Amino acid sequence: MVRVVPVAAIDVQGRSVARGRALGPEEEAELLVEIPVGVTVFPDELYPAPRSWAEKAYPKLIHFNKVDEGGHFAAWEQPQILSDEIRATFRSLR
């Protein structure tokens, strides 16, 4: 089953509580996702992920595509494009 789950952490003043920090090589290696992954870049996303980042973060990247429409809320904005991208990602695993 594939689910699209937006996750955010907001404090009582409405600010994001996410914090970034530099990771050591051991910590970074622990974060690698070792299952097949597909990345779709929507043009109106807050941070469009470059392919080089996706390849580094996801060693088993099986699908990468940039589409012409949609943004951060792609499931609501462009459900057909999102559905097509999910299908394209996992088509090779049939």
pLDDT in tens, 39-62: 999 998 888 889 998 898 888 999
The domain containing residue 42 runs over which residues?
25-91
pTM: 0.66
Residue 39: closest CA among 18, 16, 55: 55
Number of structural domains found in the chain: 1
Q: Is residue 68 part of a domain?
A: yes
Distance CA 14, CA 9 (A): 9
Q: Is residue 16 part of a domain?
A: no
Q: Is residue 41 part of a domain?
A: yes
pLDDT at 3 over 80: no
Q: Is residue 31 part of a domain?
A: yes
pLDDT at residue 74, as a whole number:
86
Residues 6+ apart with CB under 8 A from 86: 2, 38
Q: Is residue 4 part of a domain?
A: no
Q: Is residue 9 part of a domain?
A: no
Q: Is residue 12 part of a domain?
A: no
